Amino acid sequence: MLRLISATPSPYARKVRIALAEKRIPFELATEVPWDSTTATPRHNPLEKLPVLIFEDGSSVYESRYILEVIEARWPEPPMVPADPWERLAARKVEVITDGICDALVLLFWEGHRAPEHQSAEWIARQRRKVDGGLRALAETAGDRERVVGNQFGLADIATGTVLRYLDVRFPEHPWRSEYPNLVGLSARLEARPSFAATVPVPQVISDKVV
């Protein structure tokens, strides 16, 4: 059975879970805390990050953007990327923006776990700027259209929905809803999809000291 190593808050893993659900690909979900020494992640990814997709023969693929490309190649129907090459590139650019926002949110999360005297105000300000700049670009890209790119549900919508809900988990006080009303409606429509409803992110308990 195909297996996905995931974590309850992970926006990167949620993209993969949603794509697998939209394509009706059966898989076993292995929920882990990648920050704890108990995780199996390093056995399947030398970069020690989840998500990791593990095939029946034990081979594994990692890095959510790459995992999604492998899924698209192996199970092309229904497509999660547009057929038009330029629209496909536009969808992948949306994923670059949303992953970049998530990366900044992860860095903010861990900076907040350092002792106050060891936290860098400059570093926090820099990551917050990336979140705000990314959201602004995302809102401009989405506009008031039904779909973020093109007219079919796909990668750009998955990436957009996952980063917005992840914001609520990691940065609940962020004013994105008041700043970008167009993203509020988009998020609500996406969260109503069964593949989103089945993968709502929640925080996890981390036992080990990480920073």
Ligand X SMILES: N[C@@H](CCC(=O)N[C@@H](CS(=O)(=O)O)C(=O)NCC(=O)O)C(=O)O
Q: Residues interacting with ligand X, by CB under 6 A?
A: 7, 9-10, 12-13, 34-35, 48-51, 63-65, 99, 106
Q: How many CB atoms lie within 10 A of CB 9?
A: 18
- Nearest distance in Å: CB 82, ligand X: 21
**Beta carbon nearer to ligand X, 65 or 128:** 65
Looking at the Cβ atoms of 106 and 124, the one nearer to ligand X is 106
Output the CA torsion 24→30→36→40 (10° steps).
-110
**CB distance 101 to 134 below 8 Å:** yes
Nearest distance in Å: CB 35, ligand X: 6
By beta-carbon proximity to ligand X, the closer residue of 188 and 198 is 198
Nearer of residues 192 and 205 to ligand X, judged by Cβ: 205
Q: How far is the CB of 9 from ligand X (least distance, A)?
A: 5
Residue among 6 and 195 whose Cβ is closer to ligand X? 6
Q: How far is the CB of 199 from ligand X (least distance, A)?
A: 13
> Minimal CA–CA distance to 172: which of 207, 201, 143, 144?
201
**Cα-to-chain-centroid distance, residue 169:** 12
Rounded to the nearest whole angstrom, what is the least distance from the CB of residue 5 to ligand X in the complex?
9
* Residue 108 identity (one-letter amino acid): L
Nearest Cα neighbor of 155 from 74, 96, 75 is 96
By Cβ distance, which residue is nearest to ligand X? 10
The structure tokens listed for 175 are 């004013």
Nearest to 146 by CA among 184, 186, 177: 186
Closest to ligand X by CB, 90 or 106: 106
Task: Work out how close the CB of 45 gets to ligand X at its nearest, in angstroms, rounded to a whole number.
Answer: 8
**Distance (Å, rounded) from C-alpha 109 to C-alpha 28?**
28
Which two three-digit tokens encode residue 197? 């409803």
